[in-house]
Amino acid sequence: MTDTFFLHPQRQLLNNEAHVRTPVSVPSPAQVTSLAFFFDDDGSRQRQALSRLAAQLGLPLPAADAVQYQAELPGLRLNWGLHTEFARYTLLRRGRTGEPFADSAFEGLPLDWLSNQADPLLVAIHAVILPQEDAGAADTETLAQQWFAGNDLVGASIGDGNAMALTDLRLHPDRNLGAGVTRLLVLDYGMSASQRGHMLQRLFELETYRMLALLALPVAKAQVRVMDDLGRRMRALTGQMSGKSGARSSDDALLDQLTELAADLEDAISSTQYRFSAGQAYYRQVERRIEELREARLGGVQPFREFTIRRLAPAMATCETIGNRQTQLAARIQRATALLRTRVEVSLQGQNQALLASMDRRAELQLRLQETVEGLSVGVLTYYAVGLIGYLAKALKVAGAPVNPELVTGLVIPLVAAGVWWGTQKMKKSLGH
């Protein structure tokens, strides 16, 4: 039967996503090394590093767009996974060769491969899984002295009592990883291989996400001085706006300074926003992994939740505080800018009103002047018209006509004045005045 419907083009990809990073089965006893490399590109450098490692070990090369890779070597299993900001190498060696942490699963990798890594190493963990009988009846203090240099331990009974996990979360010297590694001891009380894989993955992710979350703390500390400086500049500007500082700058100068301040703040926000958001996201992942451990307190040992949250929560609170300061300062700048613009608009409105009033006064003066000129014009035209009529009357008298020029001149003055005024008004109407 032919399909009559269309499949979503990403259906297979989305379905496979649930199976991309499935935990591997872990035997007991076993040695497991987890390495997490932090990167800030699209992961291409880590894919290249994996390809170099596979070529050195004679393994099949990974796909160009691989996000997961698994391979088997004699006595060693290699797992690689690419995440948003880090790539994790998990090396599993079955059994044990001697004292815990005397060697590690990393012994199976070429040392020059590590030195050629382009991205920094963020997390390195050597984990040892032992059956309960291999650990004997040693208590936590004895285990701390034997394998953790006497440091205070962090750990708990995990997996509803099916295992015990202990670590000191400190960096111990290692002949292959000179920067040091974190040691993790897991005592197996009867978990299956898949349960051990799930539990070990949660422990690795807990430490990795804790470190990734803490990457936001140095950024927040660096922003303290930046925010203090921006806050002082903002206070100075508001003082100038209100005149309380004793020196009041022009509105244009204040607006320029506010714009510069807003640009500096936006630069600070853009350089920290992603790291703060990522830190909060990783913090939530840490809390989730702690929940998934299903831990129970051990006598004399600080639980994972207590240790992690006690130290991580203040760091995240610091990042949140800086983020809130940025948001609040941005709001203050916005309010100050709006207030300044309102003041500028009010000033412009006053200037416009004064200009309009001046224009009204000027128009009134022009009207009065026009009326004066019109009156003078009527008088002047009447004078000249009457003069012409007088000359005409004199000419008629000389010609013998019985005309009194003075009398004629006096009588026509009102008539001429009325005629001139009427003609002026008609002309004004025809011109649209």
**Token pair of 399, please?**
């010609």
Q: Do 147 and 57 share a domain, yes or no?
A: yes
Q: Do 183 and 123 share a domain, yes or no?
A: yes
Of the three residues 300, 319, 354, the one that is the final residue of a domain is 354
Q: Do 146 and 223 share a domain, yes or no?
A: no
Q: Do 47 and 126 share a domain, yes or no?
A: yes
Range of the domain at 144: 20-192
C-alpha span between 167 and 161 (Å, rounded): 17
C-alpha span between 397 and 375 (Å, rounded): 33
Q: What is the pTM of this model?
A: 0.77
Q: How would you write the pLDDT of the chain (433 residues) with one tens digit per residue? A: 455 667 777 777 666 665 556 667 898 899 999 999 999 888 899 999 999 999 999 999 999 888 899 999 888 999 999 999 999 999 999 887 677 888 888 887 887 888 788 899 999 999 999 997 776 656 888 889 989 999 999 999 999 999 999 999 999 998 888 778 999 999 999 899 999 999 999 999 999 999 999 999 999 999 999 999 999 999 988 888 876 655 555 777 888 889 899 999 999 999 999 999 999 999 999 999 999 999 999 888 999 999 999 989 999 999 999 999 999 999 999 988 888 887 777 777 777 777 877 887 887 787 777 767 666 676 777 777 777 777 777 777 777 777 777 777 777 778 777 777 777 777 767 766 5
**Cβ proximity of 154 and 169 under 8 Å:** yes
Judging by beta carbons within 10 Å of its beta carbon (0-12, 13-18, 19+), is residue 320 exposed, middle or buried?
middle
Question: Would residue 7 count as lying in a domain?
Answer: no
Of the three residues 127, 160, 192, the one that is the final residue of a domain is 192
Question: What pLDDT score does 18 carry?
Answer: 59
**Cβ proximity of 289 and 206 under 8 Å:** yes
User: Could you tell me which residues come within 8 angstroms of residue 249 by beta carbon, excluding any fewer than 6 positions away?
Assistant: 240, 257
Exposure string of 210-237, with b = 16+ CB inside 10 Å and e = fewer, is bbbbbbbbebbeebeebbeebeebbeeb
* Matching residue, tokens 């006064």: 361
C-alpha span between 143 and 138 (Å, rounded): 6
Q: Do 102 and 127 share a domain, yes or no?
A: yes
**Token pair of 367, please?**
């009207």
Question: What pLDDT score does 1 carry?
Answer: 47
Give the number of residues written for the chain.
Answer: 433
- Report the chain's C-alpha Rg in angstroms: 46
Sign of CA dihedral 256, 257, 260, 262: negative
Question: What pLDDT score does 426 carry?
Answer: 75
User: Could you tell me which residues come within 8 angstroms of residue 350 by beta carbon, excluding any fewer than 6 positions away?
Assistant: none
Q: Do 43 and 187 share a domain, yes or no?
A: yes
C-alpha span between 241 and 343 (Å, rounded): 10
**Domain count across the chain:** 3
C-alpha span between 121 and 37 (Å, rounded): 4
Q: Do 243 and 342 share a domain, yes or no?
A: yes
